[in-house]
Structures are given as structure tokens and as C-alpha cells.
Structure 1
Amino acid sequence: MTILWNLIKSFFCYTWFTLNFIKKLILNIVFLLLVAIIGYYIYNNYYNQIINLNKHKKYILEINVQSLTDEIINHNNILLRSIDKIFNLPDQNSTFQIAQAILRAKKDKNIGAIVLNLNDFMVEDITIINYLGKYLNDFKSSGKLIYAIGDMYNQNQYYFASFANKIILEPQGELDLHGLSVENFYFKNLLKKLKVQINIFKIGDFKSAIEPIIRNNMSSSTKIVEKNLINNLWNYYLETVISNRKISLQNLFPNHKDFIQKFKNSNGNLALYALNNKLVDKLSTRFDFKCEMIKKFGWDEKYQTYNHIDISEYISQNFKEKNKNNIAVISVNGVLNYGVESSNIVEQINQVYLDPDIKGLILKINSPGGSITAAEHIYNALISLKTINKPIVVVMGELAASGGYFIATAGNYIISNINTITGSIGVFAVVPTFNNTLKILGINNDGVNIDNSLVGSKYNELPLKSKEILKVAVKGSYDKFVYVIANGRHKSIQDVKKLANGMIWLGQDAKKNGLVDSVGDFDSAIKKISELTKIKNVSLEWLESDINLFPLKLLDFLPFEIKNSIFFKNIFSYLENYSMQKKLLKNNSLLLTQEVNDPKNIYAIYNLNIH
């Protein structure tokens, strides 16, 4: 019996050893293959693809980007570029670096033209497009041409294309120009059917962020405000394109009757309609366009196309990081959440405080606001920076409203883009309770506590004392909001309260109301910080988030099952939140799903929902 047992034991031991050996062998082979693949891509996509420009040839600078970031991208990081290539991830490009590359290309004798390849262009922020458009117009002043090419153009793609000398459209393509609209989902009836009690405490008559959960439709006052907003934004869009293309309004955006007639005259062909109305300059396939560029700029034997250099490669060859910088740049983007995100911004501000080489700060804000506690947290850190005579210049992006504007008031000087949406001064608290919903399902919540009148559970009715506390807290947050504006903008409390009703304004109107100092862009901020710090040669230090956002780039690569697994949601919850914020905001779901986090349940946020 002992011999039999030893034989069985030996068999399983050897089997286990063999399986372990095979497992390690497979893992090692996979690892070696991965190293080989990465090594191949590092060689093939870096050392083997460096384009040395021939001084006797003209090249096209090709701009083919999907999205843009506020942060500076290190295009010389071989490993990250190789990983991007392996996983087929979209290139990350910096708005500032592209603008500087266009500026350099203007004087670069090797660069003969720019091609805007806009098929994958997904930038929605018009203020960013305007900034790059300014540099494209400057490039054209050198006599060099800009070509825009696309299979079809959505509104923002066409807006960007309008800065080109020539717009080329595929013969089967079209332009989608439909104007702007504001639409929301409203949940009052749904919440009523589910017996969800929404407790709301609000200051600001035009504070419309909570309407979707307390109404079944848009209020008449909000309709007036939003209609005025989209009219102003759309008029600016039309004026810019008309100026760029040198065409009439009737050609660009005719009334329905005229459009139908012109469409009939074009035999129902949208591409031909665009050509006939001078919206584009030529209908051409990509192959024909490629042949035209080869005739003008020569043949690249290596890449089997016209002589060109990609924007990322051009940046990596021409722009090197400096060791010492004197002005910091910090970006505040998206919804303000209290916790890791707000603490990360504060940490960046503290870096500026502690660095003796940094003499001032440019604060870029593109935020609808969010948690009032997060806004105060960031604001207080900025005020501390000013106490050591490091000036702050705020430059606003597409949106710097509510809590985003709260932060902006800490600046010594505030610059708004002409299309920036700002204001929305006001606060509110939203506390849903689900006790009646649970009763429908036969679930009851019970227990003991020190003070029944201060129960903070969502599964019990909100006690009267808690309601009174929230009401006082909201009033206190509103008064603080009014005070920081009065203090930062040098206004009386009474004058600020006239503006602190939730109303929104675009750049010029915000300036008239004294909410901002001037209308401009990032270049205006550089000029102003130079004046305030008395530094002639400004060198920018772009402070980046400590949160590693590389896994975020893999979100589109990961299958649905992984992204929705418990492991992914627990370990990478901040990434999931980051990627969902804008989509939730546009569907009025942030407050409902508690994606905005404030420990006091008090918010200063504006819903941007323009399509």
C-alpha cells in the first residue's frame, strides 16, 4: 500500500513539475516575443523612420490629428511611441506644440505647404481651433499654401478646414452643417414613478443644472438664455467661415427653400452642391490628390507618396525641452471632483510655490465647475501662491463657468476667449432619498443612531434638521462665492449679487460685466505674465498630472467585458470616471449618477449640452 501511494504521489509530483515547466516556458517565450516586437517597433518606428529633410527639396507638413491635449507631449519618448504603434493607439498632440510648429514652418525653407488631413479630426472645442487657425492664417501670409482634405466634413472639421487655401472633398462626400441646438433629458416623471424624493436647495434663479431632475421640460427662462447663447455662437461660426472662405451667407447656410432648390440643381449630389456653392474648392479622390502633390513636391521613394513630414516628427526634430523654465502652466480640465483630482491640481500649485525658479503661473481653465469644496480647495492654494508675489494669469477655454469661474477669481488677470462660456454664479445642493423606492420593492431600512434628526442615509427620509443645515450651508457657500468675486474683481457685494443669479455670458459680455479683464487666447496670457513678472524671455514649465493616464489610452483597445469587470472598475475607477464625465455631462446624468463628488453635497456647476 505504501509503494502504491508513493507511486501515485510521484506521478502527481512529476506531472505538476512538468506543467510548471511548460507554463514557465510559454511565459518566457511570450515575454521574449513581446521584447522582440517592441524592439522591432522601436527600430522601425524611430531609428528607421527619422526623416532627414533634404535642404534642396520642398516638403509638405502633414497635420493629421485626432485629439489635442493641453500638456506638452514628449515625441522623443521611443518606448511610448512604440507602444502607441503596437496597440494602434491615436497619437497625442499638444495644441501649443502644433501652433509653434506651424509658426516655425512658416520660415522653414524646407516646408512648402501644409496638408490638414481631417478624416479623424475630433476636436470639439472651437477655442482650440481658433487658436490653431490664427497660426494657419499667419502661415498663409508667407505665400505658402494650406490644403484641407476629407472624405466628408462635420461642422468642426469644416470650421478648421475653412482656414485652408484649398478645401478638397471626396466626390462621394458631404458637408454636415446643421447649426447648434440644446437638448436635455428630463427625469421628473421617472423619479416620481420610482418614488425617489429629490431634496433641492438652490440660490441662483437661472441656475439650470438641476432642471432635468425637477422638471419635465426646459423652463421658459432657460430657453431664452440657451437660445441667445447658441445664436451668438453660431453667428460667430458663420462670420468666421464667411471671412475665411470669402463667400456669402446665402452660399454657406441658406434657408430651407433655397437649399432644396440648390440641392435639386446639383442632382441630389451633396458633394456637387458643396462645390457649386463654393463651400469647397475641388472634388477629388485621395489618389488624385496624392498624384497632384507628387507633381508639386516630388516623390518619396521610401514611403511611396509625396515628400512630407508628419507633424509629430516635425515637432520631435525641432523642439527640445529646456532644463530651466521660469513660468509654470497648469490646466484645470473637466468636472471638478473633490478628492484625488482636486488634490492633484493643488499639488501642482504647491510645486510652483516651492520652486524658486518659477516666477509666475498661467492657469488654463476649461471646466463647467462641479464640487464647491474642490473649487475652494484649489482657490485657497492659488491665493497662497499670490502671497509670495508669484502672479497668476488665468486663460479660459471653451468653458469656465460656475465652480470653474470660482477658481478663476484667484487670478491677478483673467483672459477669456471670445467664445468662452462663463458666469453661472450660484450654488445648489441635491440630496436624493430612496426610502419610498425601497418600500415598493419590499425592502425596509432600520437601525439605531445617536440623533434621529441627523441621519445622513439615502435610504431614509431627509430629517428636518438636515434640511436646515443644508439650507444654511448652501447660503454660506453662495456668500463665499460672491465674496471671492467681489474681492478678486474689486467690486462691491451688491454689484456682484446682480450678476450672481446663474446667468451665463460669452467673452465680450463677460468683459463688459467686469468678470474678465480682456478677450484673448493663450498667447495673450504669455504676454501678460511677461509684463507682471518683468521677464522678457518667458520659458514655460508645463506641469502634468501625477495620475498616470497611459492606461486611459487603452480604454478603446480593451474589450467590453474587461472594462466592465469588477477588477477594472475597482482598480481603474478613476479612469472610468475620467472617460465618462463629458458624456454624462452632455446627458444631464452627472448629478443623477453621483459622478460629481462633494463631501457636503453642494455644487457649483453648469451643464454644457450644445450639439
Structure 2
Amino acid sequence: MKNPFTDRLWISREVRLGIVVAILFVVGAIGLAFGHWRVGITAIGIGIALVAAFYFAVVRPAQIPHDAVLVIRLAGAIEEDVTRSPLDQIMRRGANSLDHLRYAFDSAAIDNDVRAIIVEIASFGAGLATAHEIHRLMRAAQAGGKRVIALLRGDDAGLREYLVASGAGEIVANPDTMLTMLGVATGGVFLKNALDKLKIQAQTLQWKEYKGAAETLGRETMSPAVRESMEAIVADWEKILIEVIASARQLSPEKARELIAAGFVSAKFAVENKLIDREGYIEDLRTEFDPESKRKVFINLARYRRHAIFNRERGRRARIALVHASGPVVSGEAPATGEYISGVATASQIDRASRDERVKAIVFRVNSPGGSAVGSDLVWRAVREAQGRGKPVVVSMGDVAGSGGYYVAAGADAIVAEPATITGSIGVVYAKFNLGNLLSELGVHFDFVKSAPISDAMSMARAMTDAELAQLNETVGHLYTTFTAKVAEGRHLSPEQAEAVAKGRIWSGLAAKERGLVDEVGGLSTAVAIARDRAHIAKDRRHELITYRAERRWLDFRGSSADVSTPWTIRAAAATLGIPSRWAPAMLELLICGGVMLLCPFIEL
């Protein structure tokens, strides 16, 4: 049993600094005593400089008022992990990270220096699962005795924004903010007619009937099977919203159901129907907490994180590795911009974490619609090898972890999903474009010299023959069989049970839990708790989450998810297709290149 006192000495920066400064002062005093003035003054000067540097660079920035009000602004993209290259961090220092939000809310809930939290909410980019997690974080802070106030300050606030706001004890809305309570709807874009008009033929294969990703290219409307799965998702999402909002706002389920589909309503209507508490402005809240307008009590998220890290990150603790995988999965050359999962890089991160003797367990955070089959398999293999080294791997799913996003998780020791997570989609699609007719209209013709009739089968100059498609379909079916076999092995299901939940069908986190595809419903904290248990970390021992990231260079913009680095044409295409703009470059590249894909449709509220 380790001595807690020696553990604190081992980690304390103050103690280490004190030892160094004391040595410098002793050297300086000895130098002065023996007449070595230059040595003595230099040593003492260095000691004083170190103390001053530590105070101004570390201690002072971490200080906050004893009656601080933490102000968190939710606007724009809310990403899993915003840390990129150093230059990218400088350019995007205002970006919100879900990791940072978790840390801030968890810390503030038990921080005696924080008396209230104000959350300003405008239009933000995140799915329903992320909104639900932030809602729970706010309610937990409120349960910890903090006053939590949500301010809706955008031109409009949809159900995602309102779901977050309802986690606060008080909701204030700008008088001109419109609430768009439009219920739940989802769907997809169907391009067959447009492709026909352009004389582009899309040849697609899908395993199996629920695999809807290929329908975007090959159908005019969704198939009955895909409609069935979408209707189930919509029903689950509506159930989640009704239960959460009814509980938070003390409404009956019937009233909550009515209000989430009330339509376009004013702040006044929202007050009258108890959706919000009052109309107001941020200035009203500032005046309430700071009547003399000194503004010293208000602190932002970045400043509070420095304070929390300075005060909480002490002592020798058990280390749990955190690996993020967010975006479409790619195996080869990555897109120049946007967010993606490199199969090679992510496997390397898991490998490094598993080889670190200090790491007791790995939490693998997945937020991905899938993509490359090979890239997904590389990550799956890395998870299994980590387990072979004695490191438990627990997956935490974000807004979506489907198809390849489920493949990478299937072999983990445990899987945790949010109730609204889109997961499953255990299936395979193939797509190939025939541009021959379009190019012929433009006067472009092809001529090949072939060793065999099939040699130009992958050319965009012609369509595949029925025989070629049949052969390819058999190969795609083999990949589907491999996928379902790995799901059966990882989830301890029989082949028949795995097939019943596969067929390309997407499930909500709630439905996936009922069918054995996930173990628990919850967020990252639930996954961490399971990882602690699997790693046999004592309940009274603290842990630290250490993020393992791919190595980046100063001027490396690859993988940046800043919208400014994504061309407006791609952002427009992303909005049309209903996918996050930061995922658009990789998603569009996957669709254009075609081939075998483990891809699930990304559906939004």
C-alpha cells in the first residue's frame, strides 16, 4: 500500500520547485560567503526568477474569485477533442471540446470557489446523443449544489439546443429568440434521378436489406426495410426527449409530447407553457451576479480549466488511456482537410497505450459512421492485441458508431452507448460509377487494350456486366460474413443471434442495449467506471485520463476540422446530404471513389 503523503510529494510541482530554489539559494549563499559574488548573485537571481515565472505562468492564471461564476458558451461545432497541431490550436482556440466540457462541469460541481454556472446556447453542431450528455452534465452540477442557468441567445433554438438548456435549473431566453419545437424527423437524400439526368449510372450492392447507405445512389425513395428502421429510431428519439424534458421541467409526459412538436413558438409562449422560466439578456444575469459591474467574478471555460487542473491534478494516480476515433474511417491516403479516422494512426495510438506499463485500461471513444473496411479491421485488430497484453478496452460511443464505427468497437471488453446513439448497421455496401454515357455526350471516348474481358471492370468508362456484379456480390457477402462473425465473437452471440441484429440495420443506443450490441447506456463517465472495474483499480484510488493522440507537426493542417479549411462547396454538399461539414471531405471521397465500404447513413434530428 503506497503512502499518500509520499505520493503527493512525488507529484507536487511546488515541492519540486521548492527543492530546486532551495538548492539555488544555498549555492548562492555559499558563493556570497566565500566572496564569489557573481556566482552567488546569479544563483539567487535564477531562484527568484523561477519562483516569479511559476507564479505568473502557473499560479496566477489558475486563480479565480471565491464567488466565481463560470460562463460557458455553446456555439458552433462541439467536437470530441479539439487538440490538433500547435498552429491549428492557435487558429482555433475558441473551439469547443466535449472533453473540456466534461472536465469543467465535473470540476465545478465540487468546487467551493464556483457559485454558479451560466451556459450561453446558440446554434451548435452536435447530435442528439451529445446534447443529451451535456444535459446530464448540467443536471449533475445542479445536483452538486450549483446554480445552473441556461441562456438561449441565438436567433432560434431547436430541440437539441433546448435539450441542453433543460439540464439547467433556470432557462432564460432572449425575447427575440424563436423556439423551433418541430418534433423528430429524419431521412436522407436520394440522387438516382439526378444521376440519371446527368447520364451517370451508379451500380450498388448491399448486404443486407436494411443497409441504407447505398440507397442514396440507387433509389428515388427509401426502401420499406430502411423506413422501418428509421421509424424505430424516430420513436426512440421521441421517447428520450419526452422523458428527459418532462423530468427536467416537471411536466407530464403528455404535455412534454405536445410541446416538443408545438412548432415555431416565441419566448413568450415558452414562458407561458413552462418551457423556459423567463425572458432576458446576458446583461441581466451579469447585473444579478455583479451589481457593481466589476466583471471580476465571471470566468470563461479556458480560465476555469487552468484553475481546475492546477487544483485537481495532484498525487500519483492510476492511468487510464483515452483514444479518440472521430469521423469516417479511411485506410490509405487521408483527405487534405476535415476530420477522419486513419486506420493506421488509430491502431498505432491504441498500440502505444497498450504498451505503456503505466496504463491500466483503455477507453476508446468512437464517433464514426464507418467507411473503409480495411481501416476498420486495422483498428479492430489493435483492440484485440491490446487485450492480449492484459489491457481492458472499453468503448464509449458518441452520436454515431455504425457499420465500420461498430466494427472497430465489436471486440472490446465492454461497449457503452448514449440512449440516442446511432449504432449497429452491421452490413456492407459497394458502389461504382459508370461515367461512360456522360463522357460520351461530352465527346470523350475510351479505348483499351486488355489481357482479359474483365480487365477494365473497374473503369468508370463502362458498367460492370451481370456476371461481374454476381462475382463481386459473392466477395462482398464474404466480407459481411466476416463482419457478423466478429460481432458474434466479441458480443458472445450465436451466429443466429448476430444475424438477427445485423442485416445492415441501425439501432438506437436503447434498442442496441436490449439486443446485446452494447452493455450499458451512458456517457464517457460510465465507460471510465467500467474500465476502472475491469482494471481492478481500488475504489478509493483516483485515476487520470491520458489522451493518446497521433503525432502532429507544427504546420500540419491535415485532419483539421475547422470549417474555414473546408471549401464552401463541400460544406454546401454536407448540408444537403445531412452530414457534419468536418466529416464531409472524407465522406465525399469515400462515395466518389466507391468500392467496398462499411458505411452507415448519418441521420440528424
Question: What TM-score range do you get, normalising by the shorter chain?
Answer: 0.7 to 0.9
The amino acid across from 1:103 in the alignment is D
* Residue 607 (structure 1) aligned with residue 591 (structure 2): no
The one-letter code of the counterpart of 1:458 is: M
Residue identity matched to 1:493:
P
Q: Is 1:546 the equivalent of 2:551?
A: yes
Identical-residue share of aligned pairs (%): 23
Cα deviation per residue 1:132-186 (whole Å; 9 max; x = unaligned)?
Answer: 3333223223443111113343322221111112111222222121112123322
Q: Is the 8 A contact 2:422 2:507 kept in 1?
A: yes
Within a 5 Å distance, the mapping from 1:239-250 to structure 2 comes to 239-248=243-252
Query: What's 1:70 paired with?
Result: 80
Q: Does residue 157 in structure 1 map to residue 161 in structure 2? A: yes
Check the 8 A contact 1:423/1:502 in 2, yes or no. Answer: yes
Asked whether 1:198 is paired with 2:192, we answer no
CA drift of 1:348 comes to: 0.9
More strand by share: 2
Matches within 5 A, 1:495-514: 495-514=497-516
Query: Contact conserved, 2:192 with 2:216, CA < 8 A, in 1?
Result: yes
Question: Is the 1:149–1:169 Cα contact (8 Å) retained in structure 2?
Answer: yes
Matched with 2:534 is: 532
1:127 paired to 2:136: no
SS in structure 2 of the partner of residue 539 of structure 1: strand
1:452 aligns with 2:446: no
SS at match of 2:395: strand
Moved more, 145-154 or 224-233: 145-154
> Which residue number corresponds to residue 173 of structure 1?
177
1:286 corresponds, among 272, 282, 286, to 282
User: How far did residue 324 of structure 1 move?
Assistant: 8.2
AA aligned opposite 1:313: R
What is residue 589 of structure 2 aligned with on the other side?
595
Hey, what's the Cα distance between the residues in 1 that align with 2:434 and 2:588? 13
Distance 2:587 2:324 in 1: 26
Distance between the aligned counterparts of 2:320 and 2:70, measured in 1? Answer: 30
**Contact 1:59–1:111 (8 Å) recurs in 2:** yes
| Distance verdict in 2 for CA 1:177–1:524, change over 3 Å | same
Query: Are the structure 2 counterparts of residues 324 and 144 from structure 1 closer, same or farther at C-alpha, using a change threshold of 3 Å?
Result: closer
- Within 2, Cα distance between the matches of 1:539 and 1:140? 24
Distance 1:580 1:126, change over 3 A: same
Alignment correspondent of 2:324: 331
* DSSP-derived class of the 2:496 partner: helix
After superposition, the Cα gap between the structure-2 partners of 1:384 and 1:188, relative to the gap in structure 1 and judged at 3 Å, is same
Deviations along 1:247-293, whole A, 9 cap, x unmatched?
3456555389x969xx9xxxxx8221111111111122333333222
What is the RMSD computed on CA atoms of the aligned residues?
3.5
Aligned partner of 2:37 in structure 1 is: none
* Conserved? CA contact 2:135–2:165, under 8 Å: no
Alignment of 1:167-316 (within 5 A): 167-248=171-252, 252=256, 254=258, 270-295=266-291, 299-300=293-294, 305=295, 307-316=297-306
SS in 2 for 1:113: strand
Kindly tell me: are residues 606 and 580 of structure 1, through their superposed partners in 2, closer, same or farther at Cα, counting changes over 3 Å?
Answer: farther
Offset at 1:122? 0.9
* Counterpart contact for 2:236–2:510, Cα < 8 Å: no
CA 554–60 in structure 1, closer or farther in 2 if over 3 Å, else same: same
Change in Cα spacing, 1:547 to 1:411, as seen in structure 2 (3 Å) is same
After TM superposition, give the deviation of residue 313 of structure 1 in Å.
Answer: 0.3
**Cα pair distance change 1:294/1:416, threshold 3 Å:** same
Contact 1:62 1:114 in 2 (8 A): yes
Helix, strand or coil at the partner of 1:254: helix
Match for residue 91 of structure 1? Answer: 94
C-alpha distance 554-473 of structure 1, shift in aligned 2 (>3 A)? closer
Once the 2 structures are TM-superposed, how far is the Cα of residue 592 of structure 1 from its aligned partner? 12
Out of 516, 527, 550, the residue aligned to residue 518 of structure 2 is 516
Question: Is the 2:65–2:296 contact (alpha carbons within 8 Å) kept by the matching residues of 1?
Answer: no
User: Structure 2 CA distance, aligned partners of 1:252 and 1:469?
Assistant: 53
Aligned partner of 1:607: which letter? P
1:346-361 alignment runs, 5 A limit: 346-361=347-362
Contact 1:585 1:607 in 2 (8 A): no
Matches within 5 A, 1:309-458: 309-320=299-310, 326-339=319-332, 340=334, 341-455=342-456, 456-458=458-460
* 1:411 Cα deviation from its structure 2 partner: 0.3
How big is the shift at 1:600? 8.4
Moved more, 466-475 or 174-183: 466-475
Q: Which moved more, 1:507-516 or 1:460-469?
A: 460-469
Deviations 1:286-339 (A, max 9, x none): 3333322223xx542xxxx36211121010122157898632111111211222
Could you tell which deviates more after superposition, 417-426 or 148-157? 148-157
- C-alpha deviation, 1:236, in angstroms: 0.9
Amino acid at match of 1:365: V
Cα 1:450/1:499, change in 2 over 3 Å: same
Give the 3 Å change call, closer, same or farther, for CA 466–220 of structure 1 in structure 2: closer
Match in the other structure for 1:488: 490
Distance 1:156 1:444, change over 3 A: same
* Partner of residue 64, structure 2: 53
Q: Is the 8 A contact 1:371 1:598 kept in 2?
A: no
Moved more, 495-504 or 421-430: 495-504
Q: Distance in 1 between matches of 2:412 and 2:587?
A: 33
In the alignment, what sits opposite 1:3? none
Matched, 1:115 2:108: no
Of stretches 545-554 and 163-172 in structure 1, the one that deviates more from structure 2 is: 545-554
Q: Counterpart amino acid of 1:506?
A: S
Query: Larger deviation: 536-545 or 225-234?
Result: 536-545
CA distance in 2 between partners of 1:458 and 1:168 (Å)? 56
The alpha-carbon distance between structure 1 residues 505 and 185, as it changes in their structure 2 partners (threshold 3 A), is closer
Match of 2:3 in 1: none
Cα distance between partner residues in 1 of 2:586 and 2:363: 34
C-alpha change, 1:73 and 1:459, in structure 2 (3 Å) is closer
Contact 1:429 1:470 in 2 (8 A): no
The one-letter code of the counterpart of 1:100 is Y
> Which sits farther off after the overlay, 326-335 or 179-188?
179-188
Question: Counterpart amino acid of 1:53?
Answer: I
Q: Distance in 1 between matches of 2:281 and 2:244?
A: 27
Counterpart contact for 1:374–1:598, Cα < 8 Å: no
